[in-house]
Amino acid sequence: MFENYFNKRENEILQIKKNQVLQEPGRNPARAFYVKKGLLRSYKVDDNGKSHILMFAPEGWIISDIESHILSTPSELYIDALEDSEVIKIKKFDVTFFTQVEKSNNQLIEKLVRRIAVLQKRVVLLMSSPAKQRYEHFLSTYPQLTNRIPLKMIASYLGITPEALSNIRSKMRSQ
């Protein structure tokens, strides 16, 4: 769906090295990236300096601080690369962007609603389930990602320490 849009315009294709930072907090407007190849993540750094991963974006995904975009507030997120990646920087990323890319606004709305659904699910999981169940949910929801993402980042996504996830894994092994 997005490919068409990108091909017919002069969008910037970037070759990104692993660990390269594509966006830092404070930028306004925030950037958005379409991942052609590789793997990006977005994360937030809290007051104690700890990182919390909000999403992973493998091939075919768009990643951005959509909140910052559409509300024109300074971004609070980092975006960087977990693998060497090929990404397209979306130049004009606002509401009109979607109306061009999507067949209609309704498709954008559906996308946003899906994002709400994912976040809502995650809130309930964080509130109701111990780390082990959250990890199992992650495994079944993103099976294709679990091999590509280092343990400590999965832990950061789940909201636990790397040590805790390591323990969970070892318990799961011995069962």
Partner DNA sequence: CGATTTTTTGAATCATATCAACGTACGTGG
Partner DNA sequence: CCACGTACGTTGATATGATTCAAAAAATCG
Pure H helices in 56-104: 66-71, 95-101
Q: Which partner from the list a second copy, DNA, none does 110 bind, CB cut-off 5 to 8 Å by kind?
A: a second copy
Q: Which partner from the list DNA, a second copy, none does 109 bind, CB cut-off 5 to 8 Å by kind?
A: a second copy
Report the distance separating Cα 164 and Cα 76, nearest Å: 27
Min. distance of Cβ 115 from a second copy in angstroms?
Answer: 6
SS3 content of the chain, % helix, strand, coil (to 5): 40, 25, 35
Strand partners for 85:
16
Min. distance of Cβ 156 from DNA in angstroms?
Answer: 10
Q: Which is nearer to a second copy, 12 or 136 (CB)?
A: 136
Binding window for a second copy (CB under 8 A); candidates: 4-12, 78-86, 121-129, 135-143? 121-129
Within 10 angstroms of residue 146's Cβ, the number of other Cβ atoms is 14
Which helix (H) or strand (E) segment holds residue 37: the answer is: strand 32-37
Min. distance of Cβ 100 from a second copy in angstroms?
Answer: 14
Min. distance of Cβ 86 from a second copy in angstroms?
Answer: 27
Q: Does 131 bind DNA (CB under 7 A)?
A: yes
Among 74, 115, 130, 141, interactor with a second copy by CB under 8 A: 115
**Given CA atoms 49, 54, 59, 61 in this order, what sign does their dihedral have?**
negative
Report the distance separating Cα 10 and Cα 103, nearest Å: 20
Q: Which residues bind a second copy (CB under 8 A)?
A: 44, 46, 48, 50, 52, 54, 66-67, 69-71, 95, 105-106, 108-110, 112-117, 119-120, 122-124, 126-129, 159
